[in-house]
Amino acid sequence: MEQLPSLKDTVTKYELLAKKALGQNFLLDMNITDKIIRTSLEAQNKPDFSGEYVFEVGPGPGGLTRAILKAKPRQLTVIEMDSRCIQIMQDIKSVVGEQLQIVEGDALKYEFKQDGIKNIVSNLPYNISVPLLMMWLKNIADYSSLTLMFQKEVADRITAEPNSKIYGRISVMAQLTCKIKVLFNLNPNCFVPAPKIWSTVLLFQPLKEIPAPETLQKVEKLTEAAFGQRRKMLRQSLKNIPNLAEICANADVPLTARAENLTPEQYLALALQL
């Protein structure tokens, strides 16, 4: 890895100006990218990624890519849409060889299939961070961990508790499937270009007992309907569900509650009645 040019030299070489349309904000400080990997591994009580597979979405100039590779994964697969960044990944691959696999394409259409222990580590493109997370949560049992950076306001929504204005669908889905740990926050000045808000790195680890995929689909539909009319009582927002009163009674959920009043476990109880 010492053979590679600095991240700043890499950005200059490829004239890598971040594209707003791709939700890009680049991290060029290796101290920070190293910290992301170090704090994630420490929280998981792992020394490194030895023997495990890692996926990274939107590697950009490759700072986080280099930090992941230093943690000795069995294989790192990067998924990138920007052809300029693909060239940078090819430069890294020329040094590390087949340990790095490069996929040029849309992560939302990519099938994260790989036998063995899988992890995802990514400074997510902001414009697709929530759709990507929802996609992974539906198959969270396939992963050992997700170490992901979000805009802080999105991270706050993910970790929000019931009865708060920012509690919503993503809060319920994430908390029903994962143990979530806030690793640290990042000042906008850490990025190029600097976004207007702070960022947060979250660690997701699958719970020991995860609802079945078909149950999670029902939870997703329930939360979509309930939070779609979050100011209304459930008897109104969920009125299209047959036998709603009986279902709510069996789940010990009052019809007069609003979407934000229900815990993730209560949404699960409703889903199990459907």
What residues does each domain of the chain span?
Answer: 7-206, 213-273
For the residues 178-201, what does the mean pLDDT come to? Answer: 89
**What is the reported pLDDT for 118?**
97
166-182 burial: b if 16+ Cβ within 10 Å, else e: ebbbbbbbbbbbbebbe
Q: Retrieve residue 271's tokens.
A: 């889903």
Where does the pLDDT of residue 197 fall: very low under 50, low under 70, confident under 90, or very high at 90 and above? confident
Where does the pLDDT of residue 19 fall: very low under 50, low under 70, confident under 90, or very high at 90 and above? low
Q: Retrieve residue 76's tokens.
A: 């790192």
pLDDT value at 23 more than 80: no
**What is the reported pLDDT for 91?**
93
Q: Express each pLDDT in 109-148 by its tens digit.
A: 999 988 899 999 999 888 899 999 999 999 999 999 999 9
pLDDT value at 207 more than 60: yes
- List beta partners, residue 206: 178
**What is the reported pLDDT for 10?**
82
pLDDT value at 222 more than 80: yes
pLDDT value at 18 more than 60: no
77: CB partners within 8 A, 6+ apart: 53, 54, 55, 56, 100, 101, 102, 103, 114
Where does the pLDDT of residue 172 fall: very low under 50, low under 70, confident under 90, or very high at 90 and above? very high
Say whether domain 7-206 belongs to CATH 3.40.50.150: yes
Closest CA to 73 of 83, 64, 61, 85: 64
Where does the pLDDT of residue 40 fall: very low under 50, low under 70, confident under 90, or very high at 90 and above? very high
pLDDT value at 21 more than 60: no
pLDDT value at 20 more than 60: no
Q: Retrieve residue 274's tokens.
A: 């459907």
Q: Pick the residue with more confidence: 10 or 155? A: 155
CATH annotation of 213-273: 1.10.8.100
Kindly report which listed range (8-12, 46-50, 129-133) carries the lowest average pLDDT score.
8-12
For the residues 32-37, what does the mean pLDDT come to? Answer: 96
**What is the reported pLDDT for 45?**
97
